[in-house]
A = this chain, B = another copy of it.
Amino acid sequence: MSVGLSPPIVVLPVKGIRLSSVCANIYAKKRTDLTLIELSEGSHVSAVFTRNLFCAAPVQVAKLHLQEYKPRYCLINAGNANAGTGEQGIKNTRSTCLALAGLTTCLTGEVLPFSTGVIGEILPVDKINLALPELIKNLSSNSWLDAAKAIMTTDTIPKAVSKEIVFGDTVVTITGIVKGSGMIRPDMATMLAFIATDVNINKDLLDKILLSAVNKSFNRITVDGDTSTNDSCVLISTSKAKNKCINDEATTEYKLIESEVVNIFCELAQAIIRDGEGATKFLTIEVKSGKNEKECLAVAYKIAESPLVKTAFTASDPNWGRILAAIGNSGIQDLDINNVQVYLDELCIVENGQRAPNYAEAEGKRVMLQDEILLTVNLGDRGECNEKIWTTDLSHEYIRINAEYRT
């Protein structure tokens, strides 16, 4: 199941990036499961990682490598998270980086490793290393879609977004792929996301764009409130486009590229939700007129992660009582419930903390039957902060997937 999501049709190559994917027999089913992304020399890489304390071995190694080196390769396997594997996990990850370095001209530290899949299993290093020569041989600038497929786990659809932007007489490209479907409550990053652009921009500004974009996209989604051990989000600029290097955030060029990267991040983040485990609805939750980001997000996530609200959406039941209970449970001590309004799309269902006088349940039902619903909560005149997050409902299919996965 997925909501309003089709496989990507056009995925544009990015100058300076080549990719390949092979079947290394890591994933439970036979399919491509090992991916290599090659970055041309001089590429800048910004990345953020999970804040889960149990962060996986590849996350630990990738963070160290990023501190000291400019990456030339991202090596990604699906089917095994290499998390909860202790010192052996670190050794195994390092050994794959070392093997790749031996087969190319790069240093071990110039490889960023990524893993996604089952937690607690030992990484099959031999399978990975055995597949490296073919992986290197197949590198091509046109393999983005293949890579989007090869990094999937419980995803049902490969996710990629691509765009060309005209910069005066130069055209720059941004292309991104992402995977993720369950264990989705990213915290400073998402599952695995790789976004590359050929735009010529300095590293500090690339870092700035990454943080801004992550905060508006992958840090605004939740499927089940569970933060993964392997979340990683990587933004690459190869600087191969002919634009004059962007060095100043006050320029039109910076603003344009930032805005386009944010849009692509949002589209990728929303794709994760649209393909969320068992999703039958794509829900946007917007909280308005809060004092600050913190309280708006507290309300939004409390609603988004309430099993009772989620199951009401599954049933297309306009159960505003459950929504009010979630709002009241979000920990804002001085909220005056008599000022709260709730809308389904444009339909006001709660006014002054109770059922809106003109609200007819049949109208609520009509909106709830849609696949895509905007739930807006207005907290009253507390402040001017508005925040938006995206989530799914909670269906039988979620239970089936997660009670069957790994067994």
Q: Is the interface of A mostly helix, strand, loop or mixed?
A: loop
Contact partners of A86 in chain B: CB under 8 A? 338, 352-354
Can you sample 25 A-B contacts with CB below 8 Å? A52-B329, A53-B327, A53-B332, A54-B329, A54-B337, A55-B328, A83-B321, A84-B350, A86-B338, A119-B322, A120-B321, A120-B324, A182-B308, A224-B307, A225-B305, A226-B306, A226-B329, A307-B307, A312-B402, A312-B403, A314-B399, A314-B403, A315-B402, A317-B406, A394-B399
B402 in contact with A325 (CB, 8 Å): no
Verify A321–B353 contact, CB threshold 8 A: no
Residues 248-269 of A contacting B (Cβ, < 8 Å): none
Query: How distant is the Cα of A55 from the Cα of B320 in the complex, in angstroms?
Result: 14
Tell me if A224 and B308 are in contact (CB < 8 A): yes
A319-B227 in contact given A53-B337, A335-B53, A353-B54 (Cβ < 8 Å): no
**Chain B nearest Cβ from A193, distance in angstroms:** 19
Q: How far is the CB of A305 from chain B (nearest CB, A)?
A: 8
Is there a chain B Cβ closer than 8 Å to A395's Cβ?
Answer: yes
Interface string of A216-242 (1 = CB under 8 A from B): 000000001111110000000000000
Nearest chain-B residue to A117 (Cβ)?
Answer: B321
A308 touches B354 (CB 8 A): no
Inter-chain contacts of A294 with B (CB < 8 A):
none
From B228, B398, B404, give the contact of A315 (CB < 8 A).
B404
A407 at interface, CB cutoff 8 A:
yes
> Known contacts being A86-B352, A354-B84, is A407 close to B224, with CB within 8 Å?
no
A85 vs B357: C-alpha distance when bound (angstroms): 11
Q: Which residues of the partner chain B approach A395 to less than 8 Å between Cβ atoms? A: 399, 403
Closest CB in chain B relative to A325 CB, distance in Å: 5
Q: State A120–B403 Cα separation when bound (angstroms).
A: 34
| Interchain CA distance A224-B329 in the complex, whole Å | 13
Q: Check B407 against A317 for contact (C-beta < 8 Å).
A: yes
Nearest CB in chain B to that of A183: its residue: B308
Query: A70 in the interface, Cβ–Cβ < 8 Å?
Result: no
CA distance A308 to B402 in the complex (A): 6
Which residue of chain B lies nearest to A365 when distances are taken between CB atoms in the complex? B407
CA distance A337 to B400 in the complex (A): 30
Given known pairs A327-B54, A335-B53, the reply for A119 and B321 (CB within 8 Å) is yes
A81 near B: Cβ within 8 Å? yes
Q: Are B325 and A183 in contact (CB under 8 A)?
A: yes
